[in-house]
């Protein structure tokens, strides 16, 4: 769940309190004995550590280059040995060309009880290391000294940044619970920001203060400031669980986006773009729009030669999609702009996502198909903002094709992907179509229409010796087939066969696969198996029909989940078993028929076992009809999987007749 609180932060009005002086933060170097004596955090007794206090203030520096400064201070109590790692700090610093963020001061100290007395140890400044982390990031790393279970440590540093676009994002929530987190933003009146609070939590306190003439950058220029104060107390830890997109989508956090700056001479510089201006910018960039133009020329003859004899537009698109999917090798770089450029990528037959897909889009445009680039953000990258264009929030680009009344996504970079499907990692919110025509430049849902579907049928015989032999057919569709094909390509066949079931009671004696490379058809796998019970009791046979894809534990275990469950695609899992058993046995126990449905047609689970004349049949059907389930639906989903786990762990019990 995400909430937005938009604040007009810099509209200074008479309703604001006016402060000449103010006190900020909490004192450094003051550890209380009650904090050292603390052995657990009552609101969350499972916590390995707790943030006792956290404060940050961001403001524009009056001296130097008038950059943004962030003063940060945090105090943490270690409760268990698993919390010792919290003393390891790694602070990312963004770098773009010659402009970069930097740490200009660091303090740290640890307090512990030793023989009933407080022992304090200061961080050695020489132990603070700066290293190159990636193309656009440096990293400052250090570890607080002498941290033990029971210690209280604190860190205080000042960070300088020349990047005004986001002012300073503040994360109230983290992996640790927090007693209190306070953030102040002191913003000159000539800087206007949109401010949004994301996540399910609300402010405990919120205040606006007018600070007179707080910004004096020189030359007699003066500006008042808005001092915005935000407080949250008793903040729960954010606990990650299965089936979620990027954590950043759901953390309680404050974000700033610069709209405009009014210079002291009266000029106004606007920074918030409309999508019209963002499209213009993209189409004029050498690594995007210019590459589309080059691709249209470069591939015109290739596209014409490949499709000239095909009158159907959809089939023309399929021919080009197949060509580019097989011509290029994706270098596994995810970007919405090119790295090599379409010409060099064509010659090397490899490139990043944009190199490949912009090439394909250009070729399709060259033969008159209606196709556009579509910007997407992968599930790990986060959901892009829709209130205004933030191009840096995208990390992927695919083709959006309009043909024959159909709207299709095409990604030629991802190997083995059928035409019309997105990679699973792109099933994340909405994508933005990049088109000069405003009618086409729109947001498009990336929700999957393809199910992740698997059907398992088993026909077997339980023999007099208690051994079972069976033929198993596994049919995989949609994203389930895509996953299986990717796995098959990454390992040998013998290794792949071993991954089909982790059940030690199964021996796979024969394996056959069809449609392994024909991605437009379901993947079909046929197995001959032998099952032998691990029990030494010859008079009883305990057989579980769920030899494959058994749910052994519930993926949903939180008391409360404040963010949605996102499966990426609807799920359907079907089991059909037909088992004949020797006259020496009788079926003594079997689970009762089960039927459980989710409210609002959200899905269902059905399980039934019947027995007639030496034959037992079992059918199971799990159908989750939606991709996303809201936090309010979490309990029902949790209960559904609790029943599934219970039934998947319940065997059929056969007894040998006396």
- Residue 61: which pLDDT band, with cuts at 50, 70 and 90? confident
What pLDDT, on the 0 to 100 scale, is given for residue 396?
Answer: 97
What pLDDT, on the 0 to 100 scale, is given for residue 455?
Answer: 97
Same domain, 111 and 202: yes
Confidence check: pLDDT of 4 > 50: no
What pLDDT, on the 0 to 100 scale, is given for residue 21?
Answer: 43
- Residue 535: which pLDDT band, with cuts at 50, 70 and 90? low
- What range defines the domain where residue 531 resides? 452-656
Same domain, 204 and 225: yes
What pLDDT, on the 0 to 100 scale, is given for residue 534?
Answer: 62
Collapsing DSSP to helix, strand or coil, 635 comes out as helix
Same domain, 436 and 492: no
Domain's final residue, options 219, 234, 263: 263
Same domain, 22 and 129: yes
Q: Is residue 550 part of a domain?
A: yes
pTM to 2 decimal places: 0.85
Q: Give the span between the Cα atoms of 60 and 216, in whole angstroms.
A: 10
Domain's final residue, options 263, 289, 306: 263
631-643 pLDDT, tens digit each: 999 999 999 999 9
Confidence check: pLDDT of 63 > 80: no
328-349 pLDDT, tens digit each: 999 999 999 999 999 999 999 9
The mean per-residue pLDDT over the stretch 609-623 comes to 94
Residues 6+ apart with CB under 8 A from 165: 257, 258, 271
The mean per-residue pLDDT over the stretch 61-88 comes to 92
Same domain, 457 and 422: no
300-307 helix and 313-327 helix, angle to the nearest 10 degrees? 120
Domain's final residue, options 445, 462, 479: 445
How many structural domains compose the chain?
Answer: 3
Same domain, 492 and 624: yes
139 near 90, Cβ under 8 Å?
yes
88 near 143, Cβ under 8 Å?
yes
Out of 134-138, 398-402, 541-545, the most confident range is 398-402
Q: Give the span between the Cα atoms of 24 and 353, in whole angstroms.
A: 47
Give me the percent of the chain exceeding a pLDDT of 90. 72
Q: Is residue 229 part of a domain?
A: yes
Query: Which helix (H) or strand (E) segment is 215 a member of?
Result: strand 205-218
561-590 pLDDT, tens digit each: 989 999 999 999 999 999 999 888 999 999
292-325 pLDDT, tens digit each: 999 999 999 999 999 999 999 999 999 999 999 9
Of the listed ranges 248-262, 332-346, 446-460, the one predicted with least confidence? 248-262
Return the CATH number at 401: 3.10.620.30
């Amino acid at each position: 769940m995400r909430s937005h609180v938009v604040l007009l932060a810099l509209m200074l009005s008479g309703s604001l309190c006016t402060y000449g002086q103010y006190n900020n933060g909490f004192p450094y170097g003051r550890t209380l004995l009650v904090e050292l004596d603390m052995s657990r955090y009552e609101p969350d007794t499972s916590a390995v550590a707790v943030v006792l206090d956290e404060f940050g203030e961001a403001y524009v520096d009056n001296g130097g280059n008038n950059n943004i400064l962030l003063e940060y201070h945090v105090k943490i109590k270690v409760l268990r040995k698993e919390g010792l790692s919290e003393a390891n700090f790694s602070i990312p610093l963004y770098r773009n060309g010659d402009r970069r963020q930097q740490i200009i001061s660091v303090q740290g100290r640890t307090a512990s009880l030793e023989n009933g007395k407080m022992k304090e140890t200061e961080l050695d400044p020489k132990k603070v290391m700066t290293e190159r982390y990636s193309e656009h990031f440096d990293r400052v790393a250090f570890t607080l000294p002498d941290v033990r279970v029971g210690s209280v440590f604190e860190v205080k540093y000042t960070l300088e940044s020349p990047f005004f676009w986001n002012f300073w994002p503040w994360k109230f929530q983290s992996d640790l619970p927090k007693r209190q987190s306070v953030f102040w933003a002191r913003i000159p009146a000539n800087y206007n920001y949109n401010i949004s609070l994301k996540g399910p939590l609300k402010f405990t306190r919120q205040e606006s203060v007018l600070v007179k003439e707080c910004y004096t950058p020189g030359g007699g220029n003066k500006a008042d400031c808005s001092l915005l104060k935000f407080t949250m107390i008793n903040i729960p830890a954010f606990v990650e669980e299965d089936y979620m997109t990027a954590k950043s989508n759901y953390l309680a956090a404050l974000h700033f986006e610069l709209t405009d700056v009014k210079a002291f001479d009266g000029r106004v510089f606007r920074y918030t773009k409309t999508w019209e201006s963002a499209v213009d910018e993209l189409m004029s960039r050498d690594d995007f729009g210019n590459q589309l133009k080059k691709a249209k020329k470069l591939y015109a003859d290739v596209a014409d030669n490949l499709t000239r004899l095909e009158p159907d537009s959809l089939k023309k698109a399929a021919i080009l999609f197949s060509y580019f999917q097989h011509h290029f090798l994706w270098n596994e770089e995810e970007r919405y702009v090119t790295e090599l450029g379409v010409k060099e990528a064509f010659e090397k037959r490899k490139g990043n996502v944009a190199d490949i897909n912009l090439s394909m889009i250009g070729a399709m445009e060259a033969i008159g198909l209606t196709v556009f680039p579509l910007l997407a953000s992968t599930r790990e990258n986060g959901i892009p903002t829709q209130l205004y264009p933030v191009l840096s929030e995208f990390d992927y680009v695919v083709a959006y094709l309009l043909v024959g009344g159909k709207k299709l996504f095409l990604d030629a970079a991802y190997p083995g992907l059928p035409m019309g499907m997105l990679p699973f990692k792109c099933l994340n919110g909405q994508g933005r179509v990049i088109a000069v025509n405003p009618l086409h430049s729109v947001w498009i849902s990336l929700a999957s229409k393809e199910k992740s579907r698997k059907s398992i049928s088993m026909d077997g015989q339980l023999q007099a010796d208690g051994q079972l032999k069976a033929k198993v057919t596994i049919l995989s569709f949609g994203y389930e087939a895509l996953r299986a094909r990717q796995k098959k390509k990454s390992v040998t066949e013998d290794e792949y066969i071993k991954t089909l079931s982790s059940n030690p009671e199964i021996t796979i004696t024969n394996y056959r696969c069809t449609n392994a490379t024909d991605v437009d058809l379901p993947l079909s796998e046929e197995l001959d198996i032998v099952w032998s019970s691990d029990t030494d009791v010859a008079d009883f046979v305990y057989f579980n029909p769920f030899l494959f894809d058994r749910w052994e534990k519930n993926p949903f275990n939180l008391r409360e989940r404040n963010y949605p469950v996102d499966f990426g695609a609807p799920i359907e899992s079907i089991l059909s078993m037909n088992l004949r058993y020797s006259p020496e046995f009788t079926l003594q126990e079997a689970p009762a028929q089960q039927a459980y449905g989710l409210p609002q047609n959200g899905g269902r689970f059905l399980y039934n076992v019947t027995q007639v004349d030496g034959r037992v049949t079992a059918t199971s059907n799990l159908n989750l009809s939606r991709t996303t389930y809201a936090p309010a639906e979490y309990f029902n989903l949790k209960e559904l999987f609790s029943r599934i786990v219970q039934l998947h762990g319940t065997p059929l019990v056969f007894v040998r007749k006396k």
